[in-house]
A and B are shown apart, each in its own frame.
Chain A
């Protein structure tokens, strides 16, 4: 038998998946269609580059005047306060909420109620929530803090509940077999297994709250975002650059700090 005939008798090594091919083709066609309806053209992009060049030209050099630095400092400190307070309260509230949402510890109706609450917290972007709170409690840091508490609860409770659902039930069962109460099992069987991950989530959330806290100010939630927005509106582009640089610096510092925090608690 010739090699060609031999290979014919076998199944193809990489059979064509027509469903996949048609899927990609449809996606490609949709992208073209969407671009045509939204009037995205190369021309507009090129003129845009020119504007951007002019914009960056007006930004440089950054403005380091004493009065500006004062504004920057006040805004920055407020942002950090918003982030830390929101993370602290959010994490504290996530602990019971996540526990209630864990399907392997709670009866179904409890976990579904808790899951519904979490889903509600997660369904809106922090900015949307911040707008609601600004309307409810007025301009300022309180609205920003409340918005970020909601965001933190949505994020941490969900991950915490998942961590609990992934823990080893055998270890929990062994603690239960000693005659421990529900709380005893929680303290010595459940928490030791999930605490390190919970602290990891909290550190990550602090990091992301710092980033978000620079944003809630734009809609009136206080902090450096407010300063940034004002600077934009007054065409103080050199001060805008100063603020942006400060934000980048603070995010980097928090990145390092949260990595260090996670390492301490493995």
Chain B
């Protein structure tokens, strides 16, 4: 197995995924994700952005190809080795996916389940260090007073802040975000991406984010990847993304503002 490049967070090689044989969702994707900053993946719905991100932490198992992360090929892992790799990769989900009946604090501490035994989690006897860090993160996402609230009592924006805190609680070396703003209003969307960018930059964590909103992606990303029908059709800094490229990614031009 070849070691991944020193200044890249992730190297994807010839990755393919078919849910149904003969109908690939991802077609031979090769990418190198830089070791810092936000990489935004844009593209129409159903083009495989979500599948690509979920292949990385193996919520989806790819059909072929390799994903190199800190010298590990993530596609080859299973069992305990896979869990050990997963706990180093944080994820912010599309519909927050908090456990609704747990408190905010319990949700944030779920981020430590790769390290804390299930029995201790059951008794809620998390290490004091973790609890202190959880309070610190809740402070950082602006929810210091909400620790004991149940997650289902929060608004969408607040829930996604908890989602970010949960992912950062893992002290991850890579942060994935799968359409983190698709259920949020435009103002909250900007706040959420801004928060993610700031907290990840402070901790030196590279971010891969799937995003519908092209403008939002361009505003915060240091690199944009455009996907169409399971292939990468654009890869470069946001300022290089032209209307021509957008037409290639999404098809047609009539929807682009004059």
Contact = CB atoms under 8 A, between A and B. Distances in A.
Give the one of B83, B99, B102, B119 with max A CB within 10 A.
B99
Contacts of B231: none
Interface stretch (B32-40, B87-95, B141-149): B87-95
B102 A188 contact: yes
Given A177-B57, A178-B110, A193-B101, A183 B84 contact: no
Contacts of A186: 118
A185 B110 CA distance: 9
Contact of A174 (B93, B106, B121): B93
Question: A interface, by DSSP: helix, strand, loop or mixed?
Answer: helix
Nearest to B123: A187
B253 interface: no
Interface string A177-201: 1111101111111001101100000
A196 to B, nearest CB: 7
Contact of B86 (A170, A171, A178): A178
Contacts of B213: none
Interface string A67-81: 000000000000000
Contact of B113 (A170, A175, A193, A195): A175
A177 B98 CA distance: 12
B237 interface: no
Contacts of B186: none
Interface in B70-88: 83-88
A192 B111 contact: no
A112 B170 CA distance: 37
A211 interface: no
Contacts, number: 89
A173 B122 contact: no
B95 A170 contact: yes
B258 interface: no
Contacts of B59: 173, 176-177
A187 B122 contact: yes
B251 interface: no
Nearest to B116: A184
B97 to A, nearest CB: 4
B118 A174 contact: no
Nearest to A186: B118
Nearest to A266: B101
Contacts of A175: 99, 110, 113
B170 A179 contact: yes
Given A174-B91, A176-B59, A181 B97 contact: no
A178 B170 contact: yes
14 contacts: A171-B98, A174-B166, A175-B99, A178-B90, A178-B114, A179-B84, A179-B170, A180-B118, A186-B118, A192-B99, A192-B102, A193-B100, A195-B101, A196-B101
